[in-house]
């Protein structure tokens, strides 16, 4: 079926997007591939997230697609699967296709720099969504993301509430190569440190381990921490997949009644876990807004209009009270 993709209408091709794996969906648009279609579209917006196995990035992709199509653009979405080398090769491919704009969620905020610089040199604007690129010399035209530091502060407040007056020992599952996740941990620590200056029941961060933003690594790191810290009281995970992996390890150790878990994101499986009592709370993001707004920045850029280089969307805290009233949940 793939060998016939170029014969399908653009609207059929775009139904492949956001499904995970390494699928690629595109339709030719003013790239010289198909002169007939070149005049009917405004160009191609290319999107490479960290992975499409995380539903959060798929939701962003779905709304990038919807907003792009509504405004006359084609869409190209690929999956680097957390591999910065693969993502850099994808950006090189975008350059070869002469796409109109690149929307990037860096797999590594520093190592992706040379690929971004290559796009800069080719005159293709690069935008980031969710996570920033921090590489020196890499020019990013615009960024839309969550106010991750503020979201981390919400997670800290939720942790204080979850542990109560006695405080306790906390594991952090981080993802240091993603700037957005570094900010979440920084916001979390700010609130915890302020709490410890005033409260008798101290909250001690006993370990920070890589959760890789996925269930498998979240599970493995938590299992290791549970062996090293038999008196662990709580976990803060930088996203829902790593929080759900942590819960599996906690349950296997028969410690789910004692250990509280705070996640981050607010995707459907994370929200369901909150309703089911597996996760205590989530600062939730709004990937639908992020996908729509990043395309709006691309459109403004193409029109020569001015815009703020950074748009941050505040996170909101989602607890069991919200989950019990959520019509999307079982």
Residue 1 has pLDDT above 70, yes or no: no
Give a yes or no: residue 302 inside a domain.
no
Does residue 162 sit in the same domain as residue 123?
no
Give a yes or no: residue 77 inside a domain.
yes
- Domain coverage including residue 230: 148-285+319-324
Give a yes or no: residue 312 inside a domain.
no
Does residue 234 sit in the same domain as residue 251?
yes
Three-state DSSP class for residue 246: helix
pLDDT, mean of residues 135-146 = 96
Pair 268, 55: CB distance under 8 Å: yes
Does residue 158 sit in the same domain as residue 275?
yes
pLDDT tens per residue, range 227-244: 999 999 999 999 999 999
Residue 40: pLDDT band (50, 70, 90) is confident
Q: Single out the residue in 77, 106, 140 at which a domain terminates.
A: 140
Does residue 154 sit in the same domain as residue 93?
no
pLDDT at site 6: 37
Does residue 154 sit in the same domain as residue 281?
yes
Does residue 131 sit in the same domain as residue 256?
no
Residue 29: pLDDT band (50, 70, 90) is very low
Count up the domains in the chain and report the number. 2
Residue 48: pLDDT band (50, 70, 90) is very high
Residue 25: pLDDT band (50, 70, 90) is very low
pLDDT at site 330: 87
Give a yes or no: residue 211 inside a domain.
yes
Name the nearest CA neighbour of 49 among 117, 132, 114, 106. 106
d(CA 123, CA 134): 20
pLDDT tens per residue, range 71-127: 999 999 999 999 999 999 999 999 999 999 999 999 999 999 999 999 999 999 999
Does residue 164 sit in the same domain as residue 273?
yes
Does residue 164 sit in the same domain as residue 129?
no
Does residue 7 sit in the same domain as residue 95?
yes
Does residue 169 sit in the same domain as residue 194?
yes
> Would you state the structure tokens that stand for residue 57, as one six-digit string?
């990035």
Give a yes or no: residue 330 inside a domain.
no
d(CA 55, CA 37): 31
Across 3-17, 27-41, 227-241, which has the greatest mean pLDDT? 227-241
User: Which residues lie closer than 8 Å to 97 by C-beta, 6 or more apart?
Assistant: 26, 31, 33, 44, 46, 76
Q: Taking the mean position of all CA atoms in its chain, how far away is CA 123? A: 26
Dihedrals φ, ψ of 83, to 5°? -100, 110
Residue 70: pLDDT band (50, 70, 90) is very high
Q: Single out the residue in 140, 171, 197 at which a domain terminates.
A: 140
Q: Single out the residue in 140, 161, 193 at which a domain terminates.
A: 140
Give a yes or no: residue 296 inside a domain.
no
Does residue 64 sit in the same domain as residue 165?
no
pLDDT at site 177: 85
pLDDT tens per residue, range 241-295: 999 999 999 999 999 999 999 999 998 999 999 999 999 999 999 999 999 999 9
Give a yes or no: residue 270 inside a domain.
yes
pLDDT at site 11: 35
**CATH number assigned to the domain comprising residue 110:** 3.40.50.2300
Give a yes or no: residue 66 inside a domain.
yes
Does residue 133 sit in the same domain as residue 173?
no
Pair 259, 230: CB distance under 8 Å: no
pLDDT at site 277: 97
């Amino acid at each position: 079926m793939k060998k016939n993709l170029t014969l399908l209408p653009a609207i059929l091709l775009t139904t492949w997007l956001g499904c995970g794996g390494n699928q690629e969906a595109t339709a030719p648009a003013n790239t010289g591939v198909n002169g007939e279609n070149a005049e009917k579209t405004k160009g191609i917006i290319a999107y490479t997230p960290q992975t499409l196995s995380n539903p959060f990035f798929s939701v962003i992709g779905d709304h990038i697609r919807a907003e792009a199509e509504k405004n006359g653009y084609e869409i190209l979405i690929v999956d680097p699967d957390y591999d910065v080398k693969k993502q850099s090769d994808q950006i090189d491919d975008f350059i070869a296709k002469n796409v109109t704009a690149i929307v990037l969620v860096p797999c590594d905020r520093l190592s992706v720099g040379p690929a971004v610089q290559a796009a800069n040199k080719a005159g293709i604007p690069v935008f980031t969504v969710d996570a920033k690129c921090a590489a020196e010399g890499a020019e990013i035209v615009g960024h839309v993301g969550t106010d991750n530091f503020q979201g981390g502060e919400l997670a800290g407040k939720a942790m204080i509430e979850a542990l109560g007056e006695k405080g306790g020992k906390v594991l952090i599952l981080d993802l240091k190569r993603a700037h957005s996740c570094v900010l979440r941990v920084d916001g979390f620590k700010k609130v915890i440190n302020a709490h410890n200056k005033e409260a008798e029941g101290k909250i001690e961060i006993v370990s920070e381990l890589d959760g890789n933003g996925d269930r498998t690594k979240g599970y493995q790191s938590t299992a290791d921490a549970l062996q090293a810290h038999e008196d662990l009281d709580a976990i803060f995970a930088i996203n829902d997949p790593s929080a759900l992996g942590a819960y599996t390890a906690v349950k296997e150790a028969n410690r789910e009644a004692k250990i509280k878990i705070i996640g981050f994101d607010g995707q459907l499986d994370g929200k369901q876990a909150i309703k089911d009592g597996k996760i205590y709370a989530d600062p939730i993001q709004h990937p639908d807004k992020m996908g729509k707004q990043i395309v709006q920045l691309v459109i403004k850029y193409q029109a020569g209009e001015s815009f703020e280089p950074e748009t941050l969307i505040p996170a909101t805290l989602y607890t069991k009270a919200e989950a019990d009233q959520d019509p999307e949940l079982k």
